[in-house]
Chains A and B, each alone.
Chain A
């Protein structure tokens, strides 16, 4: 069987079938090789999505069969649930704080690293490491411990005369500690920035230097425009991720979204509705609203990108 599947398509052309057979066979083989991914996408992604779309129009508690209720979940969400809107505002606050700061830090470190001559590899790995660790629950738990009342950050700040008394137990401060966890993982966008910076032709800087342009002038007129496609890419990517933040908020608040709902981000509230309160229909509706919202924000970003993203090599792109 294996032999059959892996034999080159043109090894044994069937007697019948005429001229078109080789192409069809090649297509067949392509589908066979693709099938694990196609099947995976269909069974593990598309099917669950379709089911969740259906569930979003039902009242479903996981035990009794789903009951069709039309748009009831959506109207309840938008008009009767104050906590839903609190979670939306919390998430927006988080996105607005975490994404720009993370990108700014990533860009600053990338520019600093670009001119480092020795040990570049070491610094790059060191700054990238948090991105590898950061998504895990264990780091988030460590985060809870160090920002707790009597944790190391709190003790350090108290030692310097800044007495906050723990971050995770104060509304306002708690979401900041969640955002800091994200900002700390600036390694991934940094590596992409670094690659982008190295693509900028050195002649541009040389020419500018000859004309007497200052560092700031070079940065504004060469680096930023030339880097704008990469900046745009990072912005879209990080923003989509930020809207779906879950693990740090879950761990920092011990799964409760506290204090006083201040870390109850969108997906945490979704989890709470679905898995604690057993309202799977409502949770599905929330998931679809989030998908649409992220879609809209991304579309808006793409629209505005026309006015600030500069593709220097537009013409080269057709070559390959």
Chain B
């Protein structure tokens, strides 16, 4: 009997060991040769991937004792994957973060308080931007870059249609008139003026701010009413019916890439987007591609703002907080790294790097930089980080508007739907 039991337990031990190997449950010791290994994850496109890899190589050359493993994905996938990893206590050592994640991740104890690590300098980063990465007075994340919204347009077609060029103080009414004229002009060859603004929560926010309102109030409640949203959707839906903006079948093809916007598909003359991705239109539109400021409210109030386009943060559970801080410092403050990364994450938040990098920017990065310069010191402060629970609301917004543009719901019905779901998500 005893021999039997020993034999069985031996076999069991063997099986368990094997099982451990199979599921990759090995300990996460140091890398080969006692190297410190850091995992760095981010979202982005191939251009950002190439430049990031180059910067990482430079860091590894300077720190032969640190080995950095990188991985990247598209935005939606990245968010879902990171949330799952973080919930499982397995967040990467260094991660790129979105504005909407900071609040949730900081209050759930996933992020390291970077303020405690002197290796990471923040003195050259704009104060206002820096504050957007702090929660309860602790610096959980540092802004890498800033972006602002824009109207990207094909200036050649615009001129041919004989429509006056956009100005810095054009209002939403001016914009609507321009779209109507553009779509009616023979020279436009059937193209509409613009993407339907009704599908974009980002554009809605700028529109709201132009009227002195906001998406969320300071105490994390909705900053607008059903009436506001109904008014916005009635306006955009009216333009759609007049053929001034894209039809539902074109609007619904939007998938986050510039190629699948109506402008990217050569079905429209203008588009709303953040400034950094606009360079993607260049290959499609050519040299005529230009950027105009977002329209302002009736009384001239500008709704657009400088938004931290993304942050870097470190995991509270990292085994190497010092090295993680060193790496983030390198990405944000090192001149050589700044030169390699350029404006691939947006115009750098670091003042010195910005002065240094801007004149050397090539191609479309230079256009974006000039575009941002006209707003320097003239825009209102960015809104505080969106509250917990807002993660899915951007999708809900375009989904509800889909129901309007396919004429399954009236603007008011869809607005009521959105407000109900938003309140449930924000747990109000």
The residues of A with any CB-CB pair to B shorter than 8 Å are 1-2, 4-5, 14, 16-17, 21, 24-25, 28, 32, 35-36, 39-40, 62-64, 148-150, 165-166, 168-171, 254-261, 272, 275-278
Given contacts A5-B10, A276-B395, contact A16 B1 (CB under 8 A): yes
Given contacts A4-B10, A63-B104, A258-B399, contact A166 B249 (CB under 8 A): yes
Contact with A along B79-111 (1 / 0, CB 8 A): 110011011000000000000000011001010
Task: Please tell me if B58 contacts chain A, counting CB pairs below 8 Å.
Answer: no
In the complex, what's the smallest C-beta–C-beta distance from A56 to chain B, in angstroms? 17
Given contacts A4-B11, A63-B86, A260-B252, contact A36 B19 (CB under 8 A): yes
A256 touches B399 (CB 8 A): yes
The residues of B with any CB-CB pair to A shorter than 8 Å are 1, 3-4, 7-8, 10-16, 18-19, 76, 79-80, 83-84, 86-87, 104-105, 108, 110, 248-250, 252-253, 255-256, 265, 391-392, 395, 398-399, 402-403, 406, 408, 425
In the complex, what's the smallest C-beta–C-beta distance from B392 to chain A, in angstroms? 4
Question: In the complex, which residues of chain B have a beta carbon less than 8 angstroms from the beta carbon of A62?
Answer: 83-84, 86-87
In the assembled complex, the Cα of A91 lies from the Cα of B248 at a distance in Å of 23
In the assembled complex, the Cα of A36 lies from the Cα of B406 at a distance in Å of 53
Q: Which of B18, B83, B249 contacts A170 (CB 8 A)?
A: B249
Other 13 A-B pairs with CB < 8 A, given A28-B4, A261-B402:
A1-B11, A5-B11, A5-B14, A14-B3, A14-B4, A16-B1, A64-B108, A149-B250, A149-B265, A166-B253, A259-B249, A259-B252, A259-B402
Given contacts A36-B15, A260-B406, contact A255 B76 (CB under 8 A): yes
Enumerate the 6 nearest inter-chain pairs by beta-carbon distance, A residue then B residue, closest first: A62-B87, A277-B392, A254-B255, A63-B108, A259-B252, A275-B80
In the assembled complex, the Cα of A85 lies from the Cα of B80 at a distance in Å of 24
In the complex, what's the smallest C-beta–C-beta distance from B316 to chain A, in angstroms? 13
In the complex, what's the smallest C-beta–C-beta distance from B76 to chain A, in angstroms? 6
B80 touches A276 (CB 8 A): yes
Q: Which of B252, B391, B399, B425 contacts A169 (CB 8 A)?
A: B252
Given contacts A14-B1, A14-B3, A276-B80, contact A63 B87 (CB under 8 A): yes
Can you list 19 A-B pairs, Cβ within 8 angstroms, ordered by A?
A28-B8, A32-B8, A32-B11, A32-B12, A32-B15, A35-B15, A62-B86, A63-B86, A149-B249, A149-B250, A150-B265, A169-B249, A259-B249, A259-B406, A260-B252, A261-B403, A275-B80, A276-B392, A277-B392
In the assembled complex, the Cα of A261 lies from the Cα of B399 at a distance in Å of 7
Question: In the complex, which residues of chain A have a beta carbon less than 8 angstroms from the beta carbon of B18?
Answer: 36
In the complex, what's the smallest C-beta–C-beta distance from B235 to chain A, in angstroms? 20
In the complex, what's the smallest C-beta–C-beta distance from A257 to chain B, in angstroms? 8
Given contacts A1-B14, A14-B3, A149-B249, contact A278 B391 (CB under 8 A): yes
Question: In the complex, which residues of chain A have a beta carbon less than 8 angstroms from the beta carbon of B3?
Answer: 14
Question: In the complex, which residues of chain A have a beta carbon less than 8 angstroms from the beta carbon of B80?
Answer: 275-276
In the assembled complex, the Cα of A279 lies from the Cα of B12 at a distance in Å of 38
In the complex, what's the smallest C-beta–C-beta distance from A211 to chain B, in angstroms? 58
| B14 to A, closest residue via Cβ | A1
Q: Which of A14, A24, A35, A261 contacts B12 (CB 8 A)?
A: A35
| A171 to B, closest residue via Cβ | B406
B4 touches A25 (CB 8 A): yes
In the assembled complex, the Cα of A36 lies from the Cα of B22 at a distance in Å of 11
In the assembled complex, the Cα of A62 lies from the Cα of B12 at a distance in Å of 34
In the assembled complex, the Cα of A16 lies from the Cα of B406 at a distance in Å of 81
